[in-house]
Chain A
Amino acid sequence: MNMVDSAQPFKTLLGPESDSQRTQYPYVTGTSVVGVKYKDGILMASDMGASYGSTLRYKSVERMKPIGKHSLLGASGEISDFQEILHYLDELILYDNMWDDGNSLGPKEVHSYLTRVMYNRRNKFNPFWNSLVLGGVKNGQKYLGTVSMIGVHFEDSHVATGFGNHLARPILREEWNENMSYEDGVKLLEKCMRVLLYRDRSAVNKIQIAKITEEGVTISRPYALKTFWEFNAFKNPTVGAEGSW
C-alpha cells in the first residue's frame, strides 16, 4: 500500500505518457550485418536469426531488404523497429514514385533520410534500437553507409554492425581491395560470417548474401556455411594460458 503511494508522485510528475511508452530495452534482436563495396557495386551479408534474449527464437528472418530501385537496407537490433523503419521507407518510396518525374531516390538520399529519422527519435529519447547498413549503386556511383541508434553515421568502403565491428572489420581491413570481383567478395564475406558464426553466440548458420549493382538488387537464397570444428585451438582452448577463463 505504502509502496504504491510513494510511486504515484513519480508517475503524475511525468504526466499521462510516462516512460513505459519509450524504448528501454530491445526484445527480439538480429545480430551483425556486414557490407563491402566491390567492383560492380555492393555486397552485403547477414544471417537469418532473431534472438529473444538468449533464445535463438526465429531462424528465417530476412534482415536485408531492397529499398526502391537503387538501395539495400540491412539491420541489426530490434526487429520490430526495423519493420517500422521499412514502413516509413515504403511511404518515402511511394511518394517518390508518385512524382513520376523520372527521378528516383538514390542510396545517398535514403541514407540521409534514415540518419534524420534515427537522430530525431534519439532526440525524443525514444530511439529505434537498430544499427542500419545502407548500400546501393546509382549512376555508376557506389555508396555504402551506416547509421546507429543514436544517429552516428558515416560511409566507408566496408561497414559492419554489432559484433561484425569487432570480428569482421579487422579481416576486411586486411583483405579488402577496391577491385574485388563478385566471387572474391562473396568469399571474403563468407569468411567474415564464418568467424561470426564461431564466435557470436547470437549467430545462426543460415545466411543470405545480397548484391546491388546498377542493374538492381538480388538477395540470395538462404544457405549454410561449412564449418570446421577440429582446429587444435578449439580442442584445447586453454593450451598456453591455463586459467579460469
Chain B
Amino acid sequence: MTKQHANWSPYDNNGGTCVAIAGADYCVIAADTRMSTGYNILTRDYSKICKLADKCLMASSGFQADVRALQKQLSARHLIYQHQHNKQMSCPAMAQLLSNTLYYKRFFPYYAFNVLGGLDTEGKGCVYTYDAVGSYERVGYSAQGSGATLITPFLDNQLKSPSPLLLPAKDAVTPLTEDEAVDLVKVVFASATERDIYTVSSCVYRVL
C-alpha cells in the first residue's frame, strides 16, 4: 500500500499584522487584534504583543499556537536569565535569543513572523525583524504579517529614515517625535485594514 499522506496540516495562518518603529529615545510596537482562520474570524479581541523584558516587547503574527509557545519559551528563558544574572535582559540580547530559538526548530519551524522592539543599552530605540527560521536584522522600522506588504512602502515614504544603502551607514532610527510616530502607526493600521481582510483597524500599541 502506498504511503498515506496526512489530511491535516500542523500549521494554520491566523493572520494579523505587526509594526514596530524605532525613534531616538523611544520605540512604538503595534499589532492588530483580529485572529482569523481561512475566511472566518475567531476572535476580535486578541493581543499579539508580549512583554518579554522591561525594555523589550515582541509582536508576532502567523500561527497563533506557535506564537504563544514561542512567547512562553522566551519569557521562561528570561526568567532564568534574571535568576542567574540578577538583571533584565537587554533588547539586543533578547534579539539573539529569539533568533537562536527560531533556528532551533529549523526543520519544523515556528510559523511566526516577529518584530522585536525596545530600547537598547544606550536608551535608543531599536527594532529587530525576523523571518520564521531566525534570520534577523536590526532596522529602524518594520512590519510583519498579512498587511506587511501594504504597510512597509508607506513607512519607507513617511518615516524619513536615512536609507539603509548609504555609506557611511547612518543610524536607522526615525527623526520623528514619539507622538508623530504613534499617529503614523494608527494611520498605517487604518490603511492596511482597507485592503487586507486579515487586518482590522483596532490595534494595540505600546510605547517604550
Contact = CB atoms under 8 A, between A and B. Distances in A.
Interface of A: 7, 10, 19, 24-25, 115, 119, 122-123, 125, 127, 149-154, 156, 165-166
Interface string B40-60: 101101100000000000000
B65 A153 contact: yes
Contacts of B64: 152-154
Nearest to B65: A151
A34 B160 CA distance: 50
Contact of A10 (B3, B8, B45): B3
Given A152-B37, A165-B40, A24 B6 contact: yes
Contacts of B35: 154
B197 interface: no
A134 to B, nearest CB: 15
Interface of B: 1-4, 6-12, 14, 35, 37, 40, 42-43, 45-46, 63-65, 68-69, 108
A156 B7 contact: no
6 contacts: A19-B4, A123-B10, A125-B6, A150-B65, A152-B37, A152-B42
Given A25-B7, A122-B65, A125-B6, A152 B14 contact: yes
Contact of B40 (A115, A149, A156, A166): A166
B42 A24 contact: no
B6 A152 contact: no
B77 to A, nearest CB: 17
Q: Identify the 3 closest CB pairs spanning chains A and B, nearest first.
A: A151-B65, A156-B43, A10-B3
Nearest to B4: A19
Nearest to B45: A156
Interface SS of A by simple majority: mixed
B8 A127 contact: yes
Contacts of A10: 2-3
Contacts of B45: 156
Contact of B65 (A152, A156, A166): A152
A47 B64 CA distance: 29
B19 to A, nearest CB: 21
A5 B2 CA distance: 11
Contact of B4 (A24, A119, A150, A154): A24
Contacts of B108: 123
B105 to A, nearest CB: 10
A153 B7 contact: no
Contacts of B46: 154
B13 to A, nearest CB: 10
